[in-house]
Amino acid sequence: MADRESNRPIVLAVPGFEAANVATAMRATFPHRPILSWPEHDAEAEVLVAFRPPPGIFVALPSLRLVHASGAGVDHILRAPGLPADLPVCRVIDPAPALAMARHVVHAVLHILGNHARYAEQQREAQWMRLPPRALPASRVAVLGLGSMGQAAAQALAALGLPVTGWSRTQRDLPGIPTAHGMAALDGVLASADVAVVLLPMTAETEGLLDARRLALMPPGAAIVAAGRGNQVVEADLLAALDAGHLSAAHCDVFATEPLPASSPLWRHPRITITPHIASPPDSAALARSVAAALAALDAGETPPGLADRARGY
């Protein structure tokens, strides 16, 4: 199987800013395979690497053995029309994206706890005024989602001396970090969190998870870091909680609609810091390694690493 299929094409359907780097990494990893960028394609292609599969792509590629996400999320692929029911879908499994996410989360949490958004306002107003910092050992952080990225973020925050609690929908153990699991435990975790870091997969269960009721459970002056998937923090409820003064800040990297429309009030809110979905930017070499590992497992008749569970949605 491996020898026969070692020269079959790989088709890339990734965002434009990623395309060149991904193609270079794929050609280096698979020197004997044609690497095609959609809409260029070949009906004999056996691998599709995609972020959001374009309409009609599965009809054009009837010989696929594998669909591989260009990052850690698979929700756009699992929701794509025409995805064959028996086609394996895998995500990137590699330390590099998790490390990038940990760096982003640490930056966001320290940005909030250090009052840096307020200092940016003061700079624009040429105002020299020191604000009382929040002591790290007294600033409780809840990391919601304990996949590879959530674990890396939780461990990085704990290493700085922050008291961290992890929460996941199913039981996960993390050395040195207390964890809770299940929807019944979520309210209690939020009620004792000065900062909630949202790193959950996008599923029907997590959509709209942090709504007005749950945001109100957090202590006065608490903050949100949203870096997993859009739609998990209800944007209108987040704005209302900030305007009411219950929440003090939000650092958002993901949104219900991306790119975030220019008309969105999130852009102009003084307590919101926005980044354009860059928390864990695509690592082309990590992606190529992950695709190679998945193909090797399929060739050996084994379960590929990072295989999505369609019933769970990730």
* pLDDT tens digits, 120-153: 999 999 999 999 888 999 999 999 999 999 999 9
E runs forming strands in 107-199: 141-144, 164-168, 179-181, 195-198
Is the pLDDT at 93 greater than 70, yes or no? yes
Grade residue 2 by pLDDT with cuts at 50, 70 and 90: very low
Q: How far apart are CA 127 and CA 28, in angstroms?
A: 52
Residues in contact with 155: Cβ distance below 8 Å, sequence separation at least 6, in sequence order: 102, 174, 177
Q: List, for residues 41-70, the tens digit of each pLDDT value.
A: 999 999 999 999 999 999 999 999 999 999
Q: How far apart are CA 102 and CA 150, in angstroms?
A: 8
| Domain 95-274 homologous superfamily, CATH | NAD(P)-binding Rossmann-like Domain (3.40.50.720)
Mean pLDDT of the chain: 95
Could you state, in order of their start, the residue ranges of all structural domains in the chain? 2-94+283-299, 95-274
- Catalytic status, residue 124: no
Grade residue 281 by pLDDT with cuts at 50, 70 and 90: confident
pTM: 0.89
Is the pLDDT at 31 greater than 90, yes or no? yes
Architecture of the domain defined by 2-94+283-299:
3-Layer(aba) Sandwich (3.40)
- Catalytic status, residue 277: yes
Q: List, for residues 241-277, the tens digit of each pLDDT value.
A: 999 999 999 999 999 999 999 999 999 999 999 999 9
- Which pLDDT belongs to residue 16? 80
Helix (H) or strand (E) holding 156: helix 148-159
Give yes or no for a contact between 199 and 187, defined as CB atoms under 8 angstroms apart: no
Angle in degrees, CA 111, 112, 116, rounded to 5: 55
Name the DSSP letter for residue 76: H
Q: List, for residues 141-198, the tens digit of each pLDDT value.
A: 999 999 999 999 999 999 999 999 999 999 999 999 999 999 999 999 999 999 999 9
Is the pLDDT at 104 greater than 60, yes or no? yes
Marked catalytic residue, from 8, 68, 172, 229: 229
Marked catalytic residue, from 277, 289, 310, 312: 277
- Which pLDDT belongs to residue 248? 96
Which residues on neighbouring strands pair with residue 7, listed in sequence order? none
| Phi, psi of 249, rounded to the nearest 5 degrees | -165, 160
Give yes or no for a contact between 277 and 253, defined as CB atoms under 8 angstroms apart: yes
For the chain, what percent of residues have pLDDT higher than 70? 98
Question: What are all long-range contacts of 153-160, with beta carbons under 8 Å and residues at least 24 apart?
Answer: 153/101, 153/102, 153/105, 153/106, 153/197, 153/199, 155/102, 156/102, 156/103, 156/105, 156/106, 157/105, 157/106, 157/109, 157/197, 160/106, 160/110, 160/136
Q: Which residue has the higher pLDDT, 97 or 6?
A: 97
E runs forming strands in 84-192: 89-90, 141-144, 164-168, 179-181
